[in-house]
């Protein structure tokens, strides 16, 4: 299975988990999309640094686009890349963020740790 197929599968699976598994329905809410738009900017910066400096490399056979040249950085935009990183990274990032928020909302709904156990002591009066 290619990186592209895994990315599409991850998004599809997590959206189903959101809508029908835990029924948080975050993808139907404006606040999620506003929050995600902020997160995706930092994801692109991080991915750009990691792939632009060739810290992380991808096989051209597993992603959209071709194999990057051995010498020099991958293309900034184009050839299946956006800010040096494969577009598939956006799929995985979306799935990761959505799954994390789904779990957070769901755990809050069922009452897991409603009273914080961390932070400064709360003096009871």
How far is Cα 122 from Cα 118, in angstroms, rounded to an integer?
10
pTM: 0.79
Q: What is residue 39's predicted lDDT score, i.e. its pLDDT?
A: 95
Q: In the numeric block, which tokens belong to residue 82?
A: 């956006």
Lowest mean pLDDT among 6-15, 46-55, 72-81, 85-94: 72-81
Burial (Cβ within 10 Å: 0-12, 13-18, ≥19) of residue 61 = exposed
Mean of pLDDT over the chain? 85
Residue 78's DSSP bridge partners are 81
Per-residue pLDDT at 55 exceeds 70: yes
CB hemisphere CA count around 17 (13 angstroms): 17
pLDDT above 80 for 117: no
Q: What is the DSSP string of 9-56?
A: HHHHHHHHIIIIIS---GGG-HHHHHHHHHHHHHHHHHHHHHHHTTSS
Tell me, what's the pLDDT at 2? Answer: 84
pLDDT at 92 over 90: yes
Cα→Cα distances 123→102, 118, 120, Å: 32, 14, 9
Locate the domains of the chain by residue range: 3-109
């Amino acid at each position: 299975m290619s990186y592209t197929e895994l990315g599409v599968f991850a998004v599809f699976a997590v959206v189903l988990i959101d809508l029908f598994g835990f029924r948080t329905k975050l993808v139907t809410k404006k606040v999620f999309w506003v929050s995600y738009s902020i997160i995706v900017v930092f994801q692109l910066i991080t991915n750009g640094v990691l792939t632009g400096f060739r810290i992380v490399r991808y096989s051209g056979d597993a992603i959209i686009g071709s194999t990057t040249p051995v010498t020099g950085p991958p293309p900034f935009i184009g050839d299946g890349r956006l800010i040096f990183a494969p577009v598939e990274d956006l799929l995985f990032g979306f799935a990761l963020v959505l799954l994390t928020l789904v779990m957070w909302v769901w755990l809050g709904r069922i009452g897991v740790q409603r009273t914080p156990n961390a932070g400064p002591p709360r003096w009871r009066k």
